[in-house]
Amino acid sequence: MGYSCSMLDNPDESMHNAFMSHAWRVQILDNVCFVRAYAKINLTLDVKGRRADGYHELATVMQTVDLHDTLCLTSAGDGRVGIVCTRPELGNEENLAARAAQLLRERFSISQGVLIELRKRIPVAAGLGGGSSDAAAVLLALQRWWRLPPSLSELQALAATLGSDVPFFLTGGLALCEGRGERVTPLAALWPQSMRWLLLLKPAISIATARVFQALPASDYSDGGSSRELVEALQEGRLPQPEDFHNSLERGVLERYPEVARAKADLLQAGASLVRLSGSGPTLYAPFPNLSSATRAQEQLQASGYELYLTHAVYLDGEDRNV
Ligand code: C5P
């Protein structure tokens, strides 16, 4: 049967009507399993200090957005994990999606193999969590497809061994993430109307997260106050203050990567009122209250050669849709 990832390219949510849409993730059709992996932005990223294990203690508020990769899983008779990717350089066993499948096979002694087709749309090494989201999508999809027993907490523990952001992507939506990022508290807050549209700008460079953390001086640490303030505001239905959208990594990234500083200035010049770095960058996001102002900025910046994505916040219902 000729199923492929392209079957999922017609989104079933209408972006232009969406305020905060609820998206499905896993779909099982006969002997094929499709799953979407959504990108995230960091509304805050408070780095509180360096830990003895080399990681940094964080408080970060993340939100999934409707930019997504698509994965298509089929059974492989050879009892191995294979991966092919629309970006061929990512189609190898080091890919976090392949490692996620391998981890589940080992943990549950599964002899069956799987072939992962990964249709990549989320920019790579961009601060949008694409690789982590792909891994979480594989864990969720295979848990259902192979009818594995793990509870969400066990799946979260397995996810955390793959990367600090992976547990967040199991539930997605809006969440406060603490520890090294793996302690996830989902938030049932309302998304502010004035931030309905999120324009993402990806400068034409890639940044390795580890290097950004390594270069972070203690003077850029924060006490977690901005994450607390932002969560409180959203939970009370208030728009957070601009200073609540704090990212401890942003100052250093803007200083070391002039392309990112220039892109931030250009976004502001194009009409954005708030521009922040997502994660360790280089992607910047800017909220807009309406589609026309977001589109205007997008077109102006595209004409200058920038890579942009017009998105909105998305909650993931996680439902299994058997067709
Ligand atoms: O957990 P993950 O492998 O995604 O992290 C990538 C790198 O980012 C780590 O190797 C570490 O250098 C840095 N990091 C950190 N503190 C965190 C998360 C990541 O220092 N809380």
Residue 221 near ligand 1, beta carbon < 6 Å: no
- The finding on whether 131 has its CB within 6 A of some atom of ligand 1 is no
Most confident segment among 16-20, 22-26, 294-298: 294-298
Residue 19 has pLDDT above 90, yes or no: no
Q: What is the whole-number distance in angstroms between the Cα of residue 32 and the centre of ligand 1?
A: 33
- Does any ligand 1 atom lie closer than 6 A to the CB of residue 56? yes
Per residue in 101-152, pLDDT (tens digit) is 999 999 999 999 999 999 999 999 999 999 999 999 999 999 999 999 888 8
Q: Of 213, 227, 248, 280, which is best to mutate to test ligand 1, by the most ligand atoms within 8 angstroms of its C-beta?
A: 213
Q: What's the pTM?
A: 0.92
| 97 within 8 A of 132, measured Cβ to Cβ | no
Start-to-end Cα distance in the chain: 15
Per-residue pLDDT tens over the stretch 178-212: 999 999 999 987 788 899 999 999 999 999 999 99
Summarize pLDDT for 221-276 with one digit per residue, the tens: 999 999 999 999 999 989 999 999 999 999 999 999 999 999 999 999 999 999 99
Options 40, 120, 202, 264, the catalytic residue: 40
Ligand 1 centroid to Cα of residue 272, in Å, is 30
d(CA 175, CA 262): 30
> Catalytic pick from 46, 66, 134, 165?
165
Beta bridge partners of 197: 288
Contact 134, 118 (CB under 8 A): yes
Question: DSSP state, 313?
Answer: B
- Identify the helix (H) or strand (E) that includes residue 296: helix 291-303
Give CA–CA dist 146/105, Å, rounded: 10
pLDDT for 8 beyond 60: no
How many helical (H) and strand (E) elements, i.e. helices and strands, does the chain have?
9, 14
Q: Give yes or no for a contact between 176 and 59, defined as CB atoms under 8 angstroms apart.
A: yes
Query: In whole angstroms, what is the distance from residue 61 CA to residue 186 CA?
Result: 10
Question: Can you tell me which atom of ligand 1 is nearest the CA of 47?
Answer: 21
Closest to 321 in 3D by CA, of 3, 33, 117: 33
Q: Rounded CA gap, 13 and 16, in Å?
A: 9
Residues 282, 15: Cα–Cα separation, whole Å: 25
Does ligand 1 come within 6 angstroms of the Cβ of 164?
yes
Q: Would you call 317 a catalytic residue per the annotation?
A: no
